[in-house]
A and B are shown apart, each in its own frame.
Chain A
Amino acid sequence: MRGWLVHRQWGFANICNNHWPVGLLLIPNMNDTHPLTEAVIAGRHKAVPELVQQCLAAGEKPLEVIEQRLVAGMAVVGEKFKRNEIFVPEMLMSARAMKEALKILEPMLTASGVKPEYTAVIGTVQGDLHDIGKNLVGMMWKGANIAVVDLGANVPPAKFIEALQRHQPQLLGLSALLTTTMPAMRETIKAVRGAGFSTKIMVGGAPVSPHFAKEIEADAYSPDAATAAETALALINP
């Protein structure tokens, strides 16, 4: 773990039990950053496949590459976003770089029986076609090693329930960008609880406030994608 500062310490025990560790939002010491981590932070997606292969050739396990190179890179991206040092375009570029790496690494992990410990289902509620905020949150969750099932935009409550039955996630993320679609968030939560699911529910989107989240009995609210990863991990692994 040389050169890394542990920002949050959850899930170390899980490294040994065939699960991807979660909650290790590591902030690298920038004077000693690995080229792959740098590529993720800078959003240089074309450089990523070769750098991943270099890591593997150097003897790093796929899990180590994810944990020590990618998750750490996305943690930096999140911090920079919170400090207004980068904005949505730069964040999307980083997420794309991370995705390039996961394309190589995920099949390797699956083949060896290693699965992410936590799963989240995410979607924009019915009547709302906005998806960029939801996509960013999904990417940040992936960047924190949570498996993400993205249902897309304009998702009716029944489709959320179907996904909860099928994937048994620990977390459900609901997004809405319009005041007119916020009631659909309330309806979705009502339907999910009515169907007997106690899955933790997190909400977000421009018009959504902590007050509204509480009112509709969501378990958590996140003001932005950068905070969403931390909030999710705290929620599912308190």
Chain B
Amino acid sequence: MWKSNWAETRRRFVKWWNREGLLVGMWGAPETANCIHENVSAPAKLATLVERYCNGAFRAAENHFRLSRSIFPLDVLPTAGADLGPGSLALYLGSRPDFAEDTVWFHPCIETEEEPEKLSPLKFDPNHPWWKITEEILRQGAAAARGKYFVGCPDLVENMDVLSSLRGAQTLCMDMIERPGWIEQKIAEINEVWFAAYDRIYELIKLEDGSSAFGAFYIWGPGKVAKVQCDASAMFSPQMYRRFVVPALTKQCAWLDHSLYHLDGTQAVQHLDALLEIGPLDAIEWTPQAGIETGGHQRWHELYRRILAAGKSVQIVNVELHEIVPLLDAIGGKGVYLLIQFKDEREVEQVSKLVKGYYE
């Protein structure tokens, strides 16, 4: 493992999932100018954006090059990304992607269906071209990693967010009123597709001890681990959330060994009570939308206290250095995972000193 303190971080992650320890990580890892772990040459840049996303050998070589020059202090995870955008499960179900430098757009494929009830059930197809591409990215990534770093599970995404990619957000919103039974049926089908895809991914990326990492939000845990979400929930009522989302999420969290929910934006906070009632959900991550106070700000201390008081662990993103001590003093360091964007090793040292009293 290219992370020298992996045994300690491993122990801390287990404690964090159990709402005990403090984790201090990063979205990505600080990169240096030189190869540290292995002499690796940069891969030749491919001509098109689509190739750069979809070519398994290129993705593996790019990750290997980047990670060979990165440091992994504190609980920073050495993770190779294998994402085809946020929500790639929709690709296996017919959505068409549009690749951009910093994201992937998913175009609806059943938006104009006037009687969607007549469509065939959504099923996982192991021969689907987009699944084959995913599989190849993961195979190549795992072959390059060989225990030196993790290959993170791609950000498949689930329930309403995937259905929104297939049906279009606006049509889906009206379906929620006009054909709620159909929505429930599709959400249940999407869950089954998610389980089928995840099982195959897990077999490709798991470590020898059966543990695994999820790429988005940098989580690792014994067994099957994933980030789950419903960003579309910012648009609808808590009643609708309980009806359409909670049953599928509950099933998903129970199926996984460890789960983290990505709570995105103040409009989604209205669903927090429902989330906290999901017993098998282990942790919640909070992303304030752009333009307001970032994750470490005192405005969110009460939110974190609520999550912790309900027995869930919490992940806090974009914490600024000056926010660390007030934050930990306010909410404690048990079951808390801070994601800090370290600029260099000097900042890592600074943070190490700041968290000393809380970091076991």
Contacts and interface: CB of A to CB of B under 8 A. Distances in A.
B289 A206 contact: yes
Contacts of A129: 98, 105
Interface in A39-89: 43, 84, 86-89
B110 interface: no
A132 B265 contact: no
B270 to A, nearest CB: 8
Given A88-B235, A89-B176, A93-B177, A207 B240 contact: no
Contact of A92 (B100, B173, B240, B265): B173
Contacts of B236: 87-89
Contacts of A131: 170
Given A132-B235, A209-B291, A209-B292, A90 B103 contact: no
A4 to B, nearest CB: 28
A36 to B, nearest CB: 19
Contacts of B246: none
A19 interface: no
Interface residues of A, number: 25
B237 interface: yes
B174 A207 contact: no
Contacts of B177: 43, 89-90, 93
A140 to B, nearest CB: 14
B290 interface: yes
Interface residues of B, number: 21
Interface in B164-204: 169-170, 173-174, 176-177
B209 interface: no
A74 to B, nearest CB: 17
Contact of A89 (B174, B290, B292): B174
A206 B265 CA distance: 9
Nearest to A88: B235
Contact of B103 (A87, A88, A178): A178
Contact of A211 (B103, B237, B265, B291): B291
B290 A206 contact: yes
A95 B278 CA distance: 35
B170 A135 contact: yes
A109 B290 CA distance: 43
Interface string A91-125: 01100100000000000000000000000000000
A88 B98 CA distance: 26
Interface string A188-226: 000000000000000000111101100000000000000
A87 B240 contact: yes
A154 to B, nearest CB: 9
A181 to B, nearest CB: 10
Interface string B79-106: 0000000000000000000101011010
A165 interface: no
A18 interface: no
Contacts of B265: 206
A225 to B, nearest CB: 11
24 contacts: A84-B270, A86-B237, A87-B235, A87-B240, A89-B174, A89-B176, A89-B177, A89-B235, A89-B236, A92-B170, A92-B174, A93-B174, A93-B177, A96-B174, A127-B100, A129-B98, A131-B170, A132-B170, A180-B103, A207-B290, A207-B291, A209-B290, A209-B291, A212-B291
Interface of A: 43, 84, 86-90, 92-93, 96, 127, 129, 131-132, 135, 178-180, 182, 206-209, 211-212
A-B pairs with lowest CB-CB distance, top 9 = A209-B291, A207-B290, A88-B235, A89-B173, A179-B290, A132-B169, A87-B237, A89-B176, A129-B105
